[in-house]
Amino acid sequence: MKKPNNKTGYEATKRLRNRDPQSRGGRARDEENRTFNAIQHTFQLPRYLQSLEVRNYSKTTIANRYADLVTFTDWAKDRSLTESDSITKLHLESYQRFIWRHRKANGKPLAISSQRQRLGAVKDLFKYLTKNNHIPANPASELELPRAEKRLPQQALSLTEIKTILNHPDITDPLGIRDRAILELLYSTGIRRTELTNLQLTDLNQERQTLQIIQGKGNKDRVVPVGKSTLKWLEKYLDEVRPKLLITATEKAFFLTSYGESFHPDVLSRQVSKQIQQAEIGRPGSCHLLRHTCATHMLEGGADIRFIQQLLGHAKLETTAIYTHVSIEQLKSVHAESHPSEARKKPRK
């Protein structure tokens, strides 16, 4: 009779490092190795994506554009629209309705931002086709995108909630130490999930207590401070855990999966979401919630908004300014001090 495998954490994942890379079921390491079908060549997708590379667009942007345009060319192929010059404004409006009606696996529609992204990719493609004389006129020139929503971000975590989450990983297990270091870094620095997955060993300066973000969003570099508590967890991970996960000596990624490879952003999101869920704080969340919480707590602590802008890597102050609208603790304090109904409750001197 086969004995049950009760191993968990690092011990349970040791076998993963001995598997053939081709059988792991993960993503291909080279995301630029794309295969284009006939209709995608007709729509000049290879040349269009190359033009983005020439203009120094980030790999993430190019990968997103490719995925969005594959959706469009598949839709066109299903309707026998196999020539780029046969597409009209009416066709594109029909595609816009198709995107609007689309439902995800959970039954929910695409977010307005996702709809705008998919349609924006199509508009930019046809702009390219027209500019380079592949088609005589641009059918997407008057296509109107859905109005952008002005929604407040998810409410930031409280100090009690963030402490509960940070303390959740089992630090008696190597993978728990790694996960604690990841959570600490996301909260301490507010970096994006993709920025964390792209981190290299040389990006951390332990002596100066800083982290260098190479080619963050918009291909922009920046340097952010790392708190002393977080630095201790990063050092513990580097000294005790990373050597156990490392398979190939040439691997320079800072955080490693059980396969000894760098994280994919989606895998990281699932990992962080799992930690937040298991912490049982009564609400869902992922990497962006920790980024948002970092900014909100710093604002409530008196940090200047321009410093927060630099920390988060926002190109425009308006993007950072949304945190001035959601710092509820500051608003409650001002309300208690200034609102007449609250003022009446104060004891007379």
Percent of the chain at pLDDT > 90 equals 62
Q: Which two tokens stand for residue 105?
A: 């696996």
Would you report the helix, strand and coil content of the chain in percent, each value rounded to 5?
55, 5, 40
So what's the pLDDT on residue 70?
96
Q: 314 to each of 176, 222, 290, 305, how far by Cα in Å?
A: 31, 11, 16, 11
The average confidence (pLDDT) of the chain is: 86
Confidence of residue 153 (pLDDT cuts 50, 70, 90): low
192 counts as catalytic: yes
Domain boundaries, the chain: 36-149, 159-335
**What's the CA gap between 349 and 347, in Å, rounded?**
6
Q: Which residue has the higher pLDDT, 3 or 281?
A: 281
Query: What was the pLDDT predicted at 152?
Result: 60
Residue 78 CB contacts under 8 Å (≥ 6 apart), including other chains? none
Residue tagged active-site, from 168, 291, 292, 297: 291
66 a catalytic residue: no
Q: What is the pTM of this model?
A: 0.73
Find the Cα–Cα–Cα–Cα dihedral 78, 27, 60, 149, rounded to 10°: 60
Which pLDDT belongs to residue 39?
Answer: 93
The two three-digit tokens of residue 348, written as one number: 């007379």
Q: How far is CA 125 from CA 72, 121, 147, 220, in A?
A: 11, 6, 21, 25
- Specify the pLDDT at position 206: 93
Of residues 226 and 29, more confidence is placed in 226
Whether 295 and 312 have beta carbons less than 8 Å apart is answered as yes
Around Cβ 96, how many Cβ atoms within 10 Å?
Answer: 18
CATH H-level, domain 36-149: superfamily = Tyrosine recombinase, N-terminal domain (1.10.150.130)
Q: Answer for the pair 288, 260: CB distance below 8 angstroms, yes or no.
A: no
Cβ neighbours of residue 310 closer than 8 Å, sequence gap 6 or more: 222
Which one is catalytic: 127, 217, 222, 244?
217
- Pairing assessment for the beta strands 210-213 and 204-205 based on DSSP bridges: antiparallel
In whole angstroms, how large is the CA radius of gyration of the chain? 24
Closest C-alpha to 63, from 87, 45, 77, 76: 45
Question: What does the pLDDT look like over 62-118, one tens digit per residue?
Answer: 999 999 999 999 999 999 999 999 999 999 999 999 999 999 888 999 999 899 999
**CATH code reported for the domain at 159-335:** 1.10.443.10
Question: How far is the CA of 87 from the CAs of 48, 116, 142, 143, 183, in angstroms?
Answer: 17, 19, 14, 13, 47
Of 192, 244, 264, 339, which is the active-site residue?
Answer: 192
Residue 344 pLDDT greater than 60, yes or no? no
327 falls in which pLDDT band (50, 70, 90)? low
Q: Where are the alpha helices (DSSP H) in the chain?
A: 9-13, 38-42, 45-54, 59-78, 89-101, 112-131, 159-166, 174-189, 193-197, 228-236, 242-245, 265-278, 287-300, 305-312, 317-320, 328-338, 340-343
| Residue 15 is a catalytic residue | no
Tell me, what's the pLDDT at 301? Answer: 86
User: Minimal CA–CA distance to 242: which of 258, 230, 263?
Assistant: 258
Active site residue 14: no
What's the pLDDT tens digit per position in 64-75?
999 999 999 999
- Give the residue, 307 or 196, on which the prediction is more confident: 196
